[in-house]
Amino acid sequence: MKIFPLVVAGLVSGCAPAGDSNAEAVQAPVTSAAATTPPSASGPKLAFPVACEIGKTCEVQNFVDRDPGPGAKDYQCGTQTYQDHGGIDIRLHDMAAQAAGVNVLAAAPGRVVRLRDGVADISVKSNGAASVAGQECGNGVVVDHGDGWETQYCHLAQGSVVVKQGDPVAAGQPLARIGLSGNTEYPHLHLTVRKAGVMVDPFAPNLPAGACSTGGGAGGGMWTPEAAKAMAYKPSAVLNSGFAAAPVTMEAIEAGAIPLPTATSGMLLAYVRAINLQGSDVQELTIKAPDGTILATGDQAPLDRAKAQYMFFTGKRLTGDRWRPGEYLGTYTVRRGGKPVITRQFSMRL
Ligand SMILES: [Zn+2]
């Protein structure tokens, strides 16, 4: 969604969801673009803005859409964005992680110039986009870094904003917690960077407007070396994986409430949810039993197009009295052009 520069009084506008997750598979709305303008001066160095660890407790779901036309391209010319997305989205694994509390941190020193709190943490899937019209950002904070540079932090948890208008902030200082306010359907931070009111892609501030390049992130853009390393471009990522005692839904994964199998469960399943898959990606999920035999294999047909997120599960019904005791091993692989780009293993003991 297009991000409007924050206007005076209130805070303002944010991002749209990366995909509407109504089934096993979800497609990001993909099409046109936000205007990006190279900054006239190099801005502040930006630190990683969330108290989470990419690859362990969070992932980058979306980058800035650099394509000015009816299409969407991230700075690496990939599909990890959607039409008019004007910032970056750092996503928690599920609402259980959100409920535990994850701080949003000032990316650079500055002063709080605008903020909003009081918007409920409700998925936009519940009440629709119209319910958050005019406050797409949800609860948010804008920090002025001087010389026309601003950072805006969106979708913060209701009641979590711990700074006030006018407060000076240091890089890394907590501003609030990640929430589910505004136009979002999963817990994440949307961060927009602006120079003189114009959105800047912090990963590739010097690329011409509308351009992308596989070398576009050279030098880490505006990020500190640590932040650039943490957010290094990945082919895709696994957000969730594990075992379950019953068929899994996207909603249950998002809630973080998946019942584990027991020795006498009627079913033993493994599930996975991955993000930023590409068209023609081939996925496989297997469960290996404690005796080393393959208990179940789930092969997905090659994807027909890029998927912002995708979930599936595989498994078996109990036929005897109980499951064999020992360790069960789940293995998830994604192949792209015949080569594995993701392998994730996870285990459970019964
Ligand atoms: Zn966003």
Annotate 83-151 with DSSP letters as a single string: TT--SEEEEES-HHHHHH--EEE-SSSEEEEEEE-------HHHH-GGGGTT-TT-EEEEEEEETTEEE
Bigger pLDDT: 56 vs 1: 56
Ligand 1: distance of its center to the CA of 152 in Å?
11
Ligand 1: distance of its center to the CA of 179 in Å?
13
Ligand 1: distance of its center to the CA of 170 in Å?
23
Cβ atoms 30, 279 nearer than 8 A: no
Ligand 1: distance of its center to the CA of 40 in Å?
24
pLDDT for 41 equals 52
Rounded Cα gap, residues 181 and 118, in angstroms: 9
Q: Give me the CATH code for the 237-349 domain, please.
A: 2.60.40.2550
Evaluate if residue 40 carries a pLDDT over 60: no
Ligand 1: distance of its center to the CA of 88 in Å?
5
- Evaluate whether 25-230 and 237-349 have a shared fold: no
Record: fold of 25-230: Glucose Permease (Domain IIA) (2.70.70)
Hey, which residues does 105 pair with through a beta bridge?
A: 174
Nearest C-alpha neighbor of 103 from the set 45, 172, 165: 172
What percent of the chain is predicted at pLDDT more than 70? 88
Ligand 1: distance of its center to the CA of 333 in Å?
28
Evaluate if residue 13 carries a pLDDT over 50: no
CA distances from 65 to 62, 75, 98, 177, 189 (A): 9, 7, 26, 25, 16
Ligand 1: distance of its center to the CA of 18 in Å?
8
Task: pLDDT band for 5, please (50, 70, 90 cuts).
Answer: very low
Evaluate if residue 6 carries a pLDDT over 60: no
**Domain residue spans in the chain?**
25-230, 237-349
Each residue's pLDDT tens digit, 317-349: 999 999 999 999 999 999 999 999 999 999 999
Ligand 1: distance of its center to the CA of 327 in Å?
39
CA distances from 108 to 139, 222, 231, 262 (A): 20, 11, 17, 48
Ligand 1: distance of its center to the CA of 332 in Å?
28
Each residue's pLDDT tens digit, 172-225: 999 999 999 999 999 999 999 999 999 999 999 989 989 999 877 777 899 999
